[in-house]
């Protein structure tokens, strides 16, 4: 791996020049700008763990393509053990950062495209699989961060890609030549986009023959001509812009994943970086596999975040003198129970993994969707319990400026104090952390990341095999199967 630690990752970002905007102004260095730097530091943790002896076995793998040591985030799962190690790694990273560390979407895209291109070539005699492997070896050797670009703007959601009044509402091919293609459109909510090295573009939905130009998968450097990124606003980002360390809640790391709009304005993609061009019959497989891989993650990374939140509330209860109350213990127990139940889901869908034709392993798709569906409920309930236990003072807490004021700082320290021996500043810091982890974008991402709750319910019904369940009931009662 060329990039061996977080510092080398950050330095690599300074060498590329993507076009990134935030609040109407261009960002020249995402590693130093107050809006983006926390997200860079969170992603850097994925690099740091790979060089940490304690976590190296989880954070690295051996490439089945080259035999070289690589980041697990560039690895193609070769067995159930790989799937389970991924889950364990994501929980650790959630614990270390308390936020999204941004490499999962590209990771899941790599695994999905790998297996689907193999099957496309087998059916059609194309060479997408070999192209993809060549690109992947490059990604593995450089240890590049890849943003998986799947979600399109969608425009009028009652219409398909080819029926939109504005054809750019879905990324599509506008020109083809012997050398490559030109694409136009946009991808939204791109986690880690501004601090990635490469973009892996994928279709966002199943396409029909009418939408051949929209069935495109390809890889593009983030600073390729014609690409513009617009970084999204986040909860309390003005506090971060003003470098209010305590008031941000998580001074080192971002509120969630650092999402961006990525616009493609006639971007040229060379032939060797095209992995799907019009094969609409394979769009369903790609979207389906990506969704399952990505939904399996959430019971792991979100459990890591919930571990931090549970610890924060427990410490705050100690600072406030309420830790011994039976109802407090009961609610903290429930937070732990919900967290571990989510973790069980991620482990289960990994343990039930199976090989695809390419040899790459898939998670159990039913259990992956159940896992993500639980996240849309359990994370919110853990947040509700945290706010219940923390108390209402979080909503009216004075600012860092008041705490440090020569005029009123002594009043803040006096009247926001708790148990003797625990500094008031510690109580305020932990309260701001709870605020940051329960308010706004973090929970929106838990609800809608990897697809809205309804998307999982659709998949759960498809995977439910109701015909088989009807046969089980009939067999138990002796009812003929044809009736």
- Which residues, in sequence order, are CB contacts of 154 under 8 Å at separation 6+? 169, 170, 204
Q: Where are the beta strands (DSSP E) in 4-159?
A: 19-22, 25-27, 60-62, 69-71, 146-149
Is 440 in contact with 465 (CB distance < 8 Å)? no
In terms of DSSP H, where are the helices of 280-408?
283-320, 326-351, 365-390, 400-403
State how far the Cα of 286 lies from the Cα of 203, in Å rounded to an integer: 8
Is 97 in contact with 38 (CB distance < 8 Å)? no
Q: Kindly name the residue from 301, 303, 310, 365 that is annotated as catalytic.
A: 301
Q: Kindly name the residue from 47, 74, 100, 248 that is annotated as catalytic.
A: 100
349 flagged as catalytic: no
| Residue 52, both tokens | 């940490």
Q: Where are the beta strands (DSSP E) in 47-195?
A: 60-62, 69-71, 146-149, 172-176, 180-187
DSSP string, 272-310: GGEEEES-GGGHHHHHHHHHHHHHHHHHHHHHHHHHHHH
* Closest CA relative to residue 336, chosen from 307, 312, 365: 307
Q: Kindly name the residue from 9, 22, 298, 343 that is annotated as catalytic.
A: 298
State how far the Cα of 157 lies from the Cα of 232, in Å rounded to an integer: 22
100 flagged as catalytic: yes
191 flagged as catalytic: yes
Provide the sign of the torsion angle of the four alpha carbons 287, 288, 294, 295, taken in this order: positive
* Closest CA relative to residue 218, chosen from 144, 266, 276, 160: 276
- Which residues, in sequence order, are CB contacts of 97 under 8 Å at separation 6+? 42, 45, 252, 253, 304
Q: Kindly name the residue from 294, 356, 365, 435 that is annotated as catalytic.
A: 294
Q: Which residues of 71-81 are buried (b: 16+ CB within 10 A; e: fewer)?
A: bbbbbbbbebe
301 flagged as catalytic: yes
Q: Kindly name the residue from 259, 310, 365, 376 that is annotated as catalytic.
A: 259
* Closest CA relative to residue 186, chosen from 229, 219, 234: 229
* DSSP code, position 251: S
9 flagged as catalytic: no
Query: Which is it for strands 172-176 and 180-187: parallel, antiparallel or unpaired?
Result: antiparallel
Q: Kindly name the residue from 9, 36, 47, 104 that is annotated as catalytic.
A: 104
Which amino acids are annotated catalytic? 100, 104, 191, 259, 294, 298, 301, 445
């Amino acid at each position: 791996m060329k990039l061996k630690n977080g510092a080398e990752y950050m330095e690599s970002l300074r060498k590329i020049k993507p076009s990134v905007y935030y609040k109407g102004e261009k960002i020249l260095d995402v590693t130093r700008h107050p809006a983006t730097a926390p997200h860079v530091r969170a992603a850097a943790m994925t690099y740091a763990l790979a060089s940490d002896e304690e976590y190296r076995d989880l954070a690295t793998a051996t490439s089945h393509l080259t035999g070289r040591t690589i980041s697990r985030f560039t690895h193609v799962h070769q067995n159930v053990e790989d799937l389970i190690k991924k889950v364990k790694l994501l929980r650790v990273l959630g614990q270390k950062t308390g936020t999204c560390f941004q490499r999962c979407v590209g990771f899941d895209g790599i695994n999905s495209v790998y297996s689907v291109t193999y099957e496309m070539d087998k059916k059609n005699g194309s060479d997408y699989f070999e192209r993809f492997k060549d690109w992947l070896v490059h990604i593995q050797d450089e240890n590049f961060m890849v943003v998986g670009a799947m979600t399109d703007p969608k425009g009028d959601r009652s219409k398909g890609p080819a029926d939109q009044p504005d054809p750019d509402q879905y990324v599509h091919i506008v020109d083809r030549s012997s050398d490559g293609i030109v694409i136009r459109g946009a991808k939204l909510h791109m986690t880690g986009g501004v601090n990635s090295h490469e973009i892996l573009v994928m279709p966002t939905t199943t396409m029909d023959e009418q939408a051949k130009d929209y069935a495109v998968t390809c890889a593009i450097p983030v600073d390729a001509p014609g690409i513009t990124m617009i970084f999204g606003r986040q909860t309390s980002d003005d506090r971060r812009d003003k470098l209010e360390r305590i008031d941000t809640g998580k001074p080192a790391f971002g509120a969630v994943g650092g999402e961006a709009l990525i616009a493609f304005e006639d971007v040229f993609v060379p032939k060797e970086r095209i992995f799907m061009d019009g094969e609409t019959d394979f769009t369903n497989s790609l979207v389906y596999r990506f969704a399952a891989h990505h939904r399996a993650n959430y019971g792991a990374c979100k459990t890591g975040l919930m571990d931090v939140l549970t610890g924060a509330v427990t410490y705050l209860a100690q600072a406030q003198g309420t830790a011994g109350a039976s109802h407090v213990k009961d609610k903290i127990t429930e937070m732990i129970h919900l967290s571990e139940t989510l973790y069980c889901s991620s482990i289960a869908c990994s343990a039930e993994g199976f090989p695809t034709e390419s040899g790459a392993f898939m998670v159990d798709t039913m259990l992956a969707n159940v896992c993500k569906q639980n996240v849309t409920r359990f994370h919110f309930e853990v947040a509700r319990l945290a706010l219940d236990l923390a108390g209402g003072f979080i909503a009216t807490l004075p600012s860092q400026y008041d705490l440090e004021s020569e005029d009123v700082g002594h009043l803040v320290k006096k009247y926001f104090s708790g148990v003797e021996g625990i500094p008031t500043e510690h109580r305020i810091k932990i309260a701001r952390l709870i605020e940051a982890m329960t308010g706004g974008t973090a929970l929106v991402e838990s609800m809608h990341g990897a697809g809205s709750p309804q998307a999982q319910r659709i998949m759960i019904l498809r995977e439910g095999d109701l015909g088989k369940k009807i046969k089980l009931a009939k067999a138990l009662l002796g009812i003929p199967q044809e009736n």
